A and B are shown apart, each in its own frame.
Chain A
Amino acid sequence: MYRYDDIDRAMVADRVAEFRRQVERRIAGDLTEEEFKPLRLMNGLYLQLHAYMLRVAVPYGTLNPRQLRVLATIARDYDKGYAHVSTRQNFQFNWPKLKDVPDILDLLAEAEMHAIQTSGNCIRNTTTDPFAGAARDEVEDPRITCEIIRQWSTFHPEFTFLPRKFKIAVSATEHDRAAIAVHDIGLQIVRNAVGEPGYRVLVGGGQGRTPHIGQWIREFLPQAELLSYLEAILRVYNVYGRRDNMYKARIKVLVNEMGIDAFRDAVEDEFAHFRAMGPGGSVDLPAEERARIAGFFAPPAFEDALAFSESFDDALATDQRFASWVRSNVHPHKVQGYVSATISLKPEGAPPGDITDTQLEAVADIAEAYALSDIRTTHEQNMVLPHVKLDDLHAVWQGLDEAGLGTPNHGLISDIIACPGLDYCNLANTRSIPVANRIQERFSDLEHQAMIGELKIKISGCINACGHHHVGHIGILGVDKKGEEFYQLTLGGSADENASIGEIVGRGLSTDEVVDAVERVVERYLELRSSESERFIDTYRRLGADPFKEALYAEAL
Chain B
Amino acid sequence: MSQTEATPRAAEQPVKISAGGVKKAKAAGTKVITANDLFSGAVVYWKADGSWTEELDEAQILEGPAALDALQRAVADEANAVGPYLMDVEDDHAPAGRGRLRETIRKAGPTIHPQFGRQAQRL
Contacts and interface: CB of A to CB of B under 8 A. Distances in A.
Interface in A57-87: 80
Contacts of A50: 41-43, 106, 109-110, 117-118
Interface in A22-64: 26-27, 29, 32-33, 47-52
B40 A97 contact: yes
Nearest to B117: A50
Interface stretch (A12-20, A159-167, A211-219, A479-487): A479-487
A422 interface: yes
A396 interface: no
B41 A47 contact: yes
Interface residues of A, number: 33
B116 to A, nearest CB: 5
Contact of A423 (B22, B43, B78, B111): B111
B111 A480 contact: no
Interface in A438-475: none
Interface stretch (B5-13, B45-53, B59-67, B94-102): B94-102
A74 to B, nearest CB: 16
Contacts of B113: 80, 351, 423
A26 B80 CA distance: 10
A49 B110 CA distance: 9
A480 B112 CA distance: 19
A98 B38 CA distance: 7
Interface in B73-87: 78-79, 82-83
B101 A482 contact: no
A47 B36 contact: yes
B28 interface: no
B43 A49 contact: yes
A426 B99 contact: no
A338 interface: no
Given A29-B79, A480-B98, A483-B101, A423 B41 contact: no
A327 to B, nearest CB: 29
A99 interface: yes
A80 to B, nearest CB: 5
A103 to B, nearest CB: 14
Contacts of A114: none
B113 to A, nearest CB: 7
Contacts of B40: 51, 97-98
B100 A98 contact: no
Nearest to B95: A483
B102 to A, nearest CB: 6
Contacts of A29: 78-79
Interface of A: 26-27, 29, 32-33, 47-52, 80, 95-99, 351, 422-424, 426-428, 431, 433-434, 437, 480, 482-485
Given A47-B41, A423-B113, 20 more contacts: A29-B79, A32-B78, A33-B82, A47-B36, A47-B83, A48-B41, A49-B102, A50-B42, A50-B110, A50-B117, A51-B42, A97-B39, A97-B41, A98-B39, A423-B110, A427-B21, A431-B112, A434-B112, A482-B98, A483-B99
